[in-house]
Amino acid sequence: MKLNESIKKTVQETFQKIKTQASELWQGTREGDAPCILVGTATCGRASGSFEVFKAFKEEITKHNLNAHVIPVGCMGHCYAEPLVAVRKPGLPSILYGNVSPPVASTIVKHFLRDDNLLPELMLAALEPNDFLPSIADFPRFALETRTILRDFGIIDPENIMDYIARGGYEGLSVALQRDQEAIIAQVLASGLRGLGGAGFLTGKKWDICFKADANKKYVVCNADEGDPGSFSDRAVIESSPHQVLEGLIIAGYAISASEGYVYIRNEYPLAVKRMKTALQQARDSGLLGKRILGSDYDLDIKVFEGSGAFVCGEETGLIHSLEGKRGMPRHRPPYPALSGLKGAPTLIDNVKTLANIPFITLDSAQAFAALGTEQSKGTAIFSIAGKINNTGLVEVAMGTTLKKLVFDICGGIPKGKKFKAIQIGGPSGGCLSHDFLNTPIDFDSLKEVGSMMGSGGMVVLDEDDCMVDVARYFLDFTQKESCGKCTFCRIGTKQMLLILQDITEGKGNPEDIEVLLDLAEAVHQGSLCGLGKTAPNPILTTLRFFRDEYEAHIAEKQCPAKMCRKLISYYILPEKCERSCEVCVGSCPTEAIYTAKRRIKAIDQEKCVKCGACLDVCPPQYSAVVKFSPADSVPPAPEKLGEEK
């Protein structure tokens, strides 16, 4: 695509007008004399009641006749503290409040906004004021992160394009449209950016292949089909900064001369779908998408395509089949989609987080990006942290950060004083790493060396109460159900491995099962076509490698060391600890298995008990009367039922 100075000048002037307008709007709502309240309204916030909190702030401000702005923002990453609210009042520190309820919102308005009482007893953090609101980068946890993709999360309104532009958004697109395509691709190559969807292929190399493909029609696609259990980073990125992803997609489209594009989002993400559709319309209305983008000669149309939720559609050739209206099933490669993809045309497919990095690279230079991370893994990694961890949520760290720093320093370690046992990285196709690997750097190659993978950015932390055999069974159950069935090894091999694991967790395992699992795992890896099948055995391989003793205990001793497998445990109530007047366990039991015995203590009818663990969950900690027994334990006799009283 040829450029001339006239087009460059038009692009620059057109964007400058939009930027000036956005800056004026930002100053009016964020940097003026009126207080500003930012309420997190991503899915995590909504699930915790942020809608009600947002409404309460509005009502209370009107009630007290105050001048203040209440603005919905995205996810700040602190999902454990939702609903999360940041409040800035001129002349005072910005305050971050966690677990805000409507009554707390009313209190904040009355005591902070009206009377200057910062309410320290309700604070999550006090933040130093700066030019923007709030200066969340000063929050201690954020000081341990390296936020590039997440830099605007919790600051901008995801459904207001002017907020994004005021913070530097779409300037990268403006710069890109004033350059030759070869220069843009060279910059992405120089940055060292690797695909953050799991494969880790060099992004610039893929772009270069697609750019050089000789074709009249090319496509560009954002892969937002995030389906890993425990992973929500792609969803959070779209819900919190959709224009950032869209800008990266438009730059990618320009770089390879694509005329049509898609954002492929699973329909289980309704808020992400809504916000991306809103972003597309706002970009069109602002001249940032469609015909002659920013006055240039470049045309690009992008649509949202809602996937039906098949895990295999996260694989790029399966995604292409779905886009074409076919059943989502992978195909042989080569040819790769960059040469022959959607409708046989060259198709560039990149992950959400990969594309979200592009504006930063285009605007702030490839060298700035390459300075982050390690020699072979540049930039940052975003992880959604779930499981047995104090501070669940979204975290962005420089590549090379150790697992130990992420789990204990950034996310607060394991709750209730429990011991760390393992961490599952990379979703169901990843691996479970034991305590011995906490000093492993987080990057593509280091994780692969120890049997795991980056995957799409999901991490599940496990503690001493988790059974690793059952964890392997859980993840394999997911991948087996999500197999498209095309490959015999994947379709039948994963099923046979799952049946063996089920037998082991039920005390029906045989000594030869371990070797059979290893043989099947190798066969499934070698005989499967796509990444889903090839990596499906990873949870089995890593748990056998690091926790083989648990498999042997299930098989040889018929007991679960973690006392987690239902078929290998029983629940009992200790008479000496049971508080006779307490009835909470009785009300919690779904099968009415708990009865009153002599001396009015409670007991469990083992024939009725379904081992759901509800009684253990509700038993007051000061009593701790409900305990789990394994077959090897000395089981107490069942107390006699209390006779009918006259």
Give the integer Cα–Cα distance in Å for 525 and 520. 8
What pLDDT score does 456 carry? 80
pLDDT at 481 over 70: yes
What pLDDT score does 433 carry? 93
What pLDDT score does 581 carry? 81
Give the integer Cα–Cα distance in Å for 53 and 319. 38
Q: Which of 174, 171, 155 is CA-nearest to residue 163?
A: 155
Tell me the two tokens of residue 305: 């395509």
Q: Which residue has the higher pLDDT, 155 or 30?
A: 155
Rounded to two decimals, what is the model's pTM? 0.91
Contacts of 646 (CB under 8 A, 6+ apart): none
Question: Is there a cis peptide before residue 83, judged by omega within 30 degrees of 0?
Answer: yes
pLDDT at 129 over 60: no
pLDDT-based confidence at residue 127 (cuts at 50, 70, 90): low
Q: Tell me the helices (H) and strands (E) count for the chain, helix number first.
A: 26, 18
pLDDT-based confidence at residue 645 (cuts at 50, 70, 90): very low
pLDDT-based confidence at residue 199 (cuts at 50, 70, 90): confident
Tell me the two tokens of residue 483: 């197999």
Give the integer Cα–Cα distance in Å for 185 and 200. 17
DSSP state of 637: P
DSSP three-state, residue 349: strand
pLDDT at 462 over 80: yes
Q: What is the DSSP string of 522-543?
A: HHHHHH-SSHHHHHTTHHHHHH
Cβ contact 584:621 at 8 Å: no
Which residues sit opposite 595 in a β-bridge? 603
Site of tokens 């401000």: 61
Tell me the two tokens of residue 202: 């060099």
Q: What is the DSSP string of 32-46?
A: SSS-EEEEE-SHHHH
Convert the pLDDT of each residue in 24-46 to its tens digit: 999 888 877 899 999 999 999 99
Q: Name the residue type at position 316.
A: E
Cβ contact 246:286 at 8 Å: no
Cβ contact 133:124 at 8 Å: no
Kindly provide the b/e burial profile for residues 511-534, where b requires at least 16 CB atoms within 10 angstroms of the residue's own CB. Answer: eebbeebeebbebbbeebbbbbbb
pLDDT at 131 over 50: no
Cβ contact 39:73 at 8 Å: yes
pLDDT-based confidence at residue 309 (cuts at 50, 70, 90): confident
Other CB atoms within 10 Å distance of the CB of residue 606: 13
What pLDDT score does 134 carry? 44
Report the mean per-residue pLDDT for the chain.
91
Give the integer Cα–Cα distance in Å for 154 and 157. 8
How far is residue 288 from each of residues 24, 258, 435, measured CA to CA in Å? 19, 15, 49
- Sheet with 260-266: list strands edge to edge: 301-307, 260-266, 219-224, 347-351
What pLDDT score does 314 carry? 87
